[in-house]
């Protein structure tokens, strides 16, 4: 039997990091088993679906390494409406489902509670199909439904506690429970690996598989992903869109490594490991069922490690969208003609050790490409205290007289200027750094001045001095 797994997102918004984690787990499992990964887009919510969301799913999957030529599909759930209706008809004809015209208000009036489930009022009324009549599945009165789960063991559900649930609406359209089951049957899905939030639906779906005469798939419900307050990640409250992390400058390799650690870990005391190790060692049965904490600070640290491990030429190429404003990246504060690729290449090794996400490259190097630096006024106030004007005058004089414009000469000159005023280098360079770069922190100062050049450096020091008059 060929293993077939599926990832079935809905195109109703940005791509959730929890969904990306599930996609990777399905994809790796299929590869390990020599099986097939199927992408099915559940697009039946016509009011919320948008074509751009579908394209977003495809591009997000490709970004994290699930290329379009490595999976079957995408299939669209809306194309299988006929199969859904046919399955509902078979269940009704077999006596496994019945029509019901009860309103929510009528059920509440009979049960005396808005929280109690459906009371089975229409089970034996023999209603034919009709406008406004939903089709309900006839849940067995006795026995249990056992869900064999690779991660959670064998959760057992008493059938008497499962209400007769709706499988088709009053207009004949199937609900998610039935459509999902029929799609999996149609596509020959053998293993369903999905988020824990679907576990409560699983006994109902397994009953549908049994009623339709098909052996259920192997289930595996991976842990819910939570925030630092141990609340389920929510797009209304948390930063969950994979595209947002991509556009901020997280590397795909770092993201997919981190996502795979949400509920699982490779052997040994390791977290950052080659992708080939993850592909080889990942085991569904080893996934921890407890909620998995999505720690953005840890992800950021991961990303910094991956950035520092890049060969410099790859780092330069990775930064280019932020330096040129291409793709989905916001344009930088300089004009395209002001960007100097050679200047950036000169400082790239210095910047590579200081940033954790690629978007941080802009404030680290903007001083190189702007006619005038962007002055941080708080930094200015902190650096330009008493004595700053005289120090800038001395720095201009010393730098003007330099024969060799190199980092070591620039450093020794400013050290001497500071020593004459009883200042250590750290204190002496603060006014110079703010005058030239606009900030109190950034790349190593003297290497930056070397790349910026004599003319531009002196012009900025003089402009800062005039501002202090």
Instruction: Give yes or no for a contact between 187 and 38, defined as CB atoms under 8 angstroms apart.
Output: yes
67 and 191, same domain (yes or no):
yes
Find, among 447, 247, 452, 443, the residue nearest to 364 by Cα.
443
Q: Residue 115: its pLDDT value, please?
A: 67
Instruction: Give yes or no for a contact between 287 and 151, defined as CB atoms under 8 angstroms apart.
Output: yes
Question: If you average pLDDT over residues 298-306, what whole number do you get?
Answer: 97
Question: If you average pLDDT over residues 60-71, what whole number do you get?
Answer: 96
At 292, is the pLDDT very low, low, confident or very high (cuts 50, 70, 90)? very high
358 and 400, same domain (yes or no):
no
Angle of helix 361-369 relative to helix 341-352, nearest 10 degrees, comes to: 140
- Across the chain, mean pLDDT equals 94
Question: If you average pLDDT over residues 299-310, what whole number do you get?
Answer: 97
Instruction: Give yes or no for a contact between 383 and 434, defined as CB atoms under 8 angstroms apart.
Output: yes
229 is catalytic: no
Q: What is the tens place of the pLDDT at every residue in 334-360? A: 988 899 999 999 999 999 999 999 999
Distance CA 320, CA 166 (A): 53
Q: Is residue 281 part of a domain?
A: no
Q: Is residue 245 part of a domain?
A: no
Q: What share of the chain is helix, strand, coil (3-state, %, to 5)?
A: 50, 10, 40
339 and 379, same domain (yes or no):
no
Q: How many domains does the chain have?
A: 4
421 and 392, same domain (yes or no):
yes
Cα dihedral 256, 260, 266, 269 in deg (nearest 10): 80
Question: If you average pLDDT over residues 299-327, what whole number do you get?
Answer: 94
Q: Say how many residues make up the chain.
A: 469
In CATH, what number is assigned to the domain containing residue 215? Answer: 3.40.50.620
105 and 154, same domain (yes or no):
yes
Q: Which of 50, 235, 239, 424 is catalytic?
A: 235
Q: What is the tens place of the pLDDT at every residue in 21-58? A: 999 999 999 999 999 999 999 987 766 777 888 999 99
343 and 419, same domain (yes or no):
no
328 and 454, same domain (yes or no):
no
Asked if residue 126 has a cis previous peptide bond (ω within 30° of 0), the answer is: no
Write out the two tokens for 469: 């008059």
pLDDT surpassing 90 at residue 82: yes
Q: Residue 47: its pLDDT value, please?
A: 67
Task: Give the domain range for residue 364.
Answer: 310-369
At 269, is the pLDDT very low, low, confident or very high (cuts 50, 70, 90)? confident
Q: Residue 363: its pLDDT value, please?
A: 94
**Ranges of H-type helices in 282-424:** 296-309, 312-324, 341-352, 361-369, 377-383, 388-400, 407-420
Q: Round the CA-based radius of gyration of the chain to a whole number and report it.
A: 31
Question: If you average pLDDT over residues 121-149, what whole number do you get?
Answer: 95
In CATH, what number is assigned to the domain containing residue 154? Answer: 3.90.800.10
Q: Residue 453: its pLDDT value, please?
A: 97
Q: Residue 117: its pLDDT value, please?
A: 83
377 and 334, same domain (yes or no):
no
Write out the two tokens for 71: 């999976």
Find, among 227, 266, 188, the residue nearest to 28 by Cα.
266
Q: Is residue 236 part of a domain?
A: no
379 and 461, same domain (yes or no):
yes
Instruction: Give yes or no for a contact between 138 and 160, defined as CB atoms under 8 angstroms apart.
Output: no
- pTM for the whole structure: 0.91
394 and 434, same domain (yes or no):
yes
pLDDT surpassing 70 at residue 162: yes
pLDDT surpassing 70 at residue 126: yes
């Amino acid at each position: 039997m060929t293993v077939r797994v599926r990832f079935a997102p809905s195109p109703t918004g940005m791509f959730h990091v929890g969904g990306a984690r599930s996609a990777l787990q399905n994809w790796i499992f299929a590869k390990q088993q020599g099986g097939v990964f199927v992408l099915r887009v559940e697009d039946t919510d016509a009011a919320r679906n948008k074509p751009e969301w579908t394209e977003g799913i495809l591009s997000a999957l490709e970004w994290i390494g699930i290329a379009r030529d490595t999976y079957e599909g995408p299939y669209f759930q809306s194309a299988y409406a006929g199969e859904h209706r046919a399955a509902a008809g078979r269940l009704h004809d077999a006596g496994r489902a019945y029509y019901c015209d009860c309103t929510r208000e009528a059920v509440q009036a009979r049960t005396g509670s808005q929280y109690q489930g459906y009371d089975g009022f229409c089970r034996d009324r023999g209603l034919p199909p009709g406008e406004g009549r939903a089709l309900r599945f006839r849940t067995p009165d006795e026995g249990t439904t056992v869900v064999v789960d690779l991660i959670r063991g064998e959760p057992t559900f008493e059938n008497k506690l499962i209400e007769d649930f709706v499988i088709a609406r009053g207009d004949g359209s199937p609900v998610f429970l039935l459509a999902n089951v029929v799609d999996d049957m149609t596509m020959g899905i053998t293993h369903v690996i999905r988020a824990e939030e679907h576990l409560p639906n699983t006994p109902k779906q397994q009953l549908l598989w049994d009623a339709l005469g098909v052996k259920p798939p192997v289930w595996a419900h991976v842990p819910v992903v939570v925030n630092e307050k141990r609340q389920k990640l929510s797009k209304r409250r948390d930063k969950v869109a994979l595209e947002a992390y991509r556009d901020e400058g997280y590397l795909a390799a770092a993201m997919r490594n981190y996502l795979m650690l949400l509920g699982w870990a490779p052997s040994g005391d390791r977290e950052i490991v080659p992708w080939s190790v993850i592909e080889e060692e990942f085991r569904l049965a080893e996934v921890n069922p407890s909620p998995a904490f999505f720690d953005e600070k840890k992800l950021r640290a991961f990303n910094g490690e991956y950035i520092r491990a890049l060969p410099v030429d790859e780092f330069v190429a990775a930064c280019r969208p932020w330096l040129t404003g291409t793709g989905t990246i916001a344009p930088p504060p300089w004009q395209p003609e002001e960007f100097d690729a050679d200047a950036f290449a000169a400082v790239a090794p210095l910047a590579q050790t200081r940033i954790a996400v690629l978007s941080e490259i802009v404030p680290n190097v903007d001083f190189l490409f702007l006619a005038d630096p962007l002055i941080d006024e708080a930094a200015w106030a902190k650096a330009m205290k008493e004595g700053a004007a005289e120090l800038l005058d001395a720095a201009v004089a010393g730098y003007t007289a330099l024969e060799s414009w190199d980092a070591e000469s620039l450093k020794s000159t400013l050290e001497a200027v500071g020593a004459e005023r009883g200042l250590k280098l750290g204190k002496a360079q603060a006014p110079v750094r703010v005058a030239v770069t606009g900030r109190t922190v950034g790349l190593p100062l003297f290497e930056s001045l070397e790349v910026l050049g004599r003319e531009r450096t002196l012009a900025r020091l003089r402009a800062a001095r005039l501002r202090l008059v």
